[in-house]
Chain A
Amino acid sequence: MMRGAAGPTLVLVLAVGVLVAAGVTLLLERSLTRILLGIILLGNGVNLLILLGGRAGAAPFAGSTPPGAMSDALPQAMVLTAVVIMLGLTAFLLAVAYRSWYTSGDDEVQDDLEDRYIVRLAESNEVSTADLGGEGPGGDPEQVDPEPARRRLRRDGKSP
């Protein structure tokens, strides 16, 4: 980092750009391992971005550095927290990828349920007609509905 308050160095800004771009590219892959690598790169890019938000300078120790030349310690503290969180999440995702490979043979992220259902319907050239409520009173022997037709007849008989 450079000294003074003229803003961050271009190198760091470029590094953020490259890390985020590479991370996003890897995130678009199907394999969970590559997605994991993408998340790591993306996370590092974001952490660098946070670091850019604070002022660069000397170590922030009272007494050894004049207050004007101190670096901003807060973004560094935040980055530390974020790094720890990312480490935990990365470890978890690694475990998921391993378990996925263990149970299904590969770690590919599959299409979701609805997608596969629609593809199956399209392949067999069918329409999704699932009217599940189409069961009249005749379908249930215990259902005791009064028969509407007879009632109408009786009313007809009353009124001339």
Chain B
Amino acid sequence: MSALVPLPVVVPLLGAALTLLLSGRPQLQRSVSVLCLGSVLVVAAVLLVQSYRFGPVVVRVGGWPAPVGIVLVADQLAALMVLVSSAVTLCVLLYSIGQGRAETGETAPVSIFHPTYLVLTAGVTNAFLAGDLFNLFVGFEILLAASFVLITLGGTEVRLRTGSTYVVVSILSSLLFLSAVGLVYAATGTLNMAQLAGRLDALPSDVRLTLQLTLLLAFGIKAAVFPLSAWLPDSYPTAPAPVTAVFAGLLTKVGVYAIIRTETLLFPGGHVATLLMVVAGLTMVVGILGAVAQSDLKRLLSFTLVSHIGYMIFGVALSSVAGLSGAIFYVVHHITIQTTLFLVAGLVEERAGSTDLRRVGGLARIAPMLGVLFFVPAMNLAGIPPFSGFLGKLGLLQAGVAAGGVLPAVLVAAGTLTSLLTLYAASRVWNIAFWRAPRLATATPPARLPGLMVGATTALVALGVLFTLLAGPLFQVTADAATDLRERTPYVRAVLPRDVP
């Protein structure tokens, strides 16, 4: 069964090579990419079941035993992340194929898009499955290099302006991460995460804190946590709709995943819990205030993305099983919902010619289906009761109340306020873009939206609703994953069977 673990990384990489060779035959290229991501989805589902029933699945790359060789580890958290991310990337791929076929608006240069997109997927899954810090760094670099190409796709002036900011900030955070890796190795003599778990505990507490803060700084930039988030709302919205959607859904969440992994496995004990909570509260409130002030749908959604990262950091900061479980559930929910909303923004742009709220209106009357596709995930994001957004926020707020103390109470209040302001921002978009007198920014006669684009978006909306229906079992999995993260022994014992620290 452990032979399955490298597949989510290897299959997209091989697929990328194959699609590059097939760049002259778009039809075949599309089928190869869809087939690759489809098989990754199946593999991820099997891995999740396996890790839930029998504990973490480990593969030793090249047959070298653990501390010497590189390991790939699929524990419940990693498998769940791979499953959700592959489902989302598959839907976005279908959407982009639909967009490419439609030949309306902007068409991505297909020959570069598919290989790069598959490399991006490989980087994301590699980061999720990495069992040592350097491999995590390599995973980040793979996904960043692919994202650089995707964000400057076409090479227009606007994309280069925003893209260069994104590239420089990302490289800077990578260099910070790299120096943290070097310092960790200098201090402990290993980079295997399971071995680090034991060796970091033995370090003097000030050295340990320095290493922890350096890693946190690097991941904080990638995850767009408040003081380090200024790059995000300016760079994401200019990319093509499917690219923005997959970036918004996945890339920041890889940073959040890295924070969860390091804060639980490498540096448990909540030494920086206060810092994380303050930062989480500021991320929530400042982010959503930015969203309220925006008049462009894509920029508004970018700010809600930053804001809701705060919820996940709050869960990590609590470092209780309930908090971590809520954070993991929220990551799963948010990957799906945020991607869906950006895809809908792409559909709005396709139909109305713009996402500028000053120029579009009355879409609910012109395109009722589009209205439904926006309304469900928007209310889900805001946390209206039956939806998974409500359940995720409720779980986190309950964990905050259970933790007790002044700071968690402040955070609970900030979380509630953010939820209400998200509702305000979402209903503002609804009122302006969907509800007032019809107004379109384009004079071209309405063409039918491509079926594949609408279909892929509908599938993601349905996935979001499915998380609501399956919230019970899903919370069971996340609670189990959180328990394993807190105990640390299942992970360490799976990687290093002989010496358990």
Contacts and interface: CB of A to CB of B under 8 A. Distances in A.
Most buried by B among A89, A92, A97: A89
B181 A39 contact: no
A103 B163 CA distance: 14
B466 interface: no
Contacts of B161: 100, 104, 109-110
B432 A132 contact: yes
Interface of B: 134, 138, 141, 144-145, 148-149, 152, 155-157, 160-165, 167-168, 171-172, 174-175, 178-179, 181-183, 185-186, 233-234, 293, 295, 357-358, 362, 365, 428, 431-432, 436-437
Nearest to B142: A85
A133 to B, nearest CB: 5
Given A93-B167, A130-B295, A78 B155 contact: no
A53 B183 CA distance: 7
B156 A103 contact: yes
Nearest to B152: A96
B218 to A, nearest CB: 11
Contacts of B431: 133
A54 interface: yes
Contact of B365 (A54, A92, A97, A142): A142
Interface stretch (A43-51, A61-69, A152-160): A43-51
Given A49-B183, A93-B164, A128-B293, 20 more contacts: A39-B168, A39-B171, A39-B175, A49-B179, A50-B181, A53-B186, A81-B134, A82-B178, A89-B174, A92-B145, A99-B152, A99-B155, A99-B160, A103-B156, A103-B160, A112-B162, A133-B431, A139-B436, A139-B437, A141-B437
Return the 3 tightest CB-CB contacts between A and B, nearest first: A53-B186, A50-B182, A140-B437
A116 to B, nearest CB: 11
B178 A46 contact: yes
Chain B at the A interface: SS class? helix
A49 B182 contact: yes
B181 A78 contact: yes
B416 to A, nearest CB: 24
B155 A75 contact: no
27 contacts: A27-B172, A32-B164, A39-B168, A39-B172, A42-B172, A46-B179, A50-B178, A50-B179, A78-B182, A78-B185, A81-B138, A89-B144, A89-B167, A93-B168, A96-B160, A96-B164, A99-B155, A100-B157, A100-B161, A103-B155, A103-B156, A109-B168, A113-B234, A114-B233, A128-B293, A132-B295, A142-B437
A27 B169 CA distance: 10
A85 B141 contact: yes
Interface of A: 27, 32, 35, 39, 42-43, 46-47, 49-50, 52-54, 74-75, 78, 81-82, 85, 88-89, 92-93, 96-97, 99-100, 103-104, 109-110, 112-114, 128, 130, 132-133, 135, 139-143
A145 to B, nearest CB: 12
Given A43-B175, A46-B179, A135 B234 contact: no
Contacts of B174: 89
Contacts of B163: 96
Contacts of A50: 178-179, 181-182, 185
Contacts of B164: 32, 93, 96-97, 100, 109
A142 B362 CA distance: 11
Contacts of B152: 96, 99
A92 B436 contact: no
